A and B are shown apart, each in its own frame.
Chain A
Amino acid sequence: MMDLLQQLGQVGLQAFQRLGRGSLFFFQVLLGFPDLIRRFHLVVVQLWSVGVRSLLLIVVAGTFVGMVLSLQGYNTLVDFGAEESLGVLVALSLVRELGPVVSALLFAGRAGSALTAEIGLMKATEQLAGMEMMAVDPLRRIVAPRLLGGILAMPLLAALFSALGVIGGYFVGVGLLGVDDGAFWSQMQTKVDLNDDILNGVIKSVVFGVAVTWIAVFEGYDAVPTSEGVSRATTRTVVHSSLAVLCLDFVLTALMFNG
């Protein structure tokens, strides 16, 4: 029993120690952000790497999620004769929840894991140590552009996800199931609020972008510099950032939409 308690305490201590290290790391990286104004090309490269290269996944996933949402929503709404509200259902579900959350989960799997593996391998092959010996701070040169790139890319990807979801929903609802075209768009226009819905969705995706990219770059930088260490760090990135997105989504939803 005592052993179990001791182990539990040790795990708890280690978790808090890592959280502390991660927080310090985050603030050190933030100090490198002003430098990036002068060298914005480094951020553009990362926007390409984490943003543009995730486009295909986001486009396909967004379209299909919108189509499924429309199909499921129609089957329920039609029982109440409310199928004309399909546009509202699809749009609100996407901009408030599914857009930011699903795109963040996909982003964690596609871009987060790649960031961790890249930084972890740079550490394992002494590229980061080499940079330090050249009097170049890897936190500023390597980590800061990646963190900012991820933070900027995430809301753009989430917006694209939602937009394509709405188009997918329109295609199924109006094109295949026969919902009235005008009602689909006009109800959406009336019921979806710029501040309450769209802006809150954007805020969520920015928060998720910070969380996922922070976890990804920290795990890479903190990885044990071996093949196994990098592999474990990559797995931790996907697991931790997915859990973080889901927990943060609950907290943010409670704060934004509760009453």
Chain B
Amino acid sequence: MGAVGAIFQKELRVEFRNKQTIVTYLLLAFLILTSFRFAFSSFDKTPTAIAAPVLWIPIFFAGMFSMTPIYKREVDESTKEGLLLAPIPHSAVYVGKLLASLLVVFGLELFTLMLFFVFFPFDLPDMAALMTVLVLGTLGFVALGSIISAISSQLSQAGVMLMVLTIPVLLFTVVLSAVSATSEIFGGAGLADVGNEVRFLAVFALVFIATGYLLMDFILEA
């Protein structure tokens, strides 16, 4: 746990001192949500069908922005070899970085959620169900993104590669399930009504967390 904790703490320090990702994301989330607010200003109530994508778009951007640099930074600063030489399992690097990314994305998600409810006056949905879908969707999304970020970190166009490789997988898995479950929840459904989507998101997250954990040796040493 010592190495994981050290990497987790280091990642957060670097992230918050750099500020670039977080500030860019906060401005982007604000811009996206205000744009949609203006677009739907003629509606008395935001239609539930578009509410879910409006909420998830900034969240997916948050993930993309925060994941691109987590391994790329080690390559750019030439610190990757320092990590590989340390007497720690490479899986500790993966877990530490994954946890730090999750915390950052969850924090940005919370900001987005609050902004969303300020801009779009909804009757509050089943918050337990909504939070479950958000947490599981984010877990899967960040776990997959983290693996692809590590793979693409050696490439000069790492950010572009991350999007190109991640989006097709996400689109038909996490995006589809998370957006459809969120849409149902905004329409009045509870946790039991979105059981299939929740189970799928949980399995997806588990599969990619385990994959990253098992493959990190090969990915980092490549």
A, B bound: no
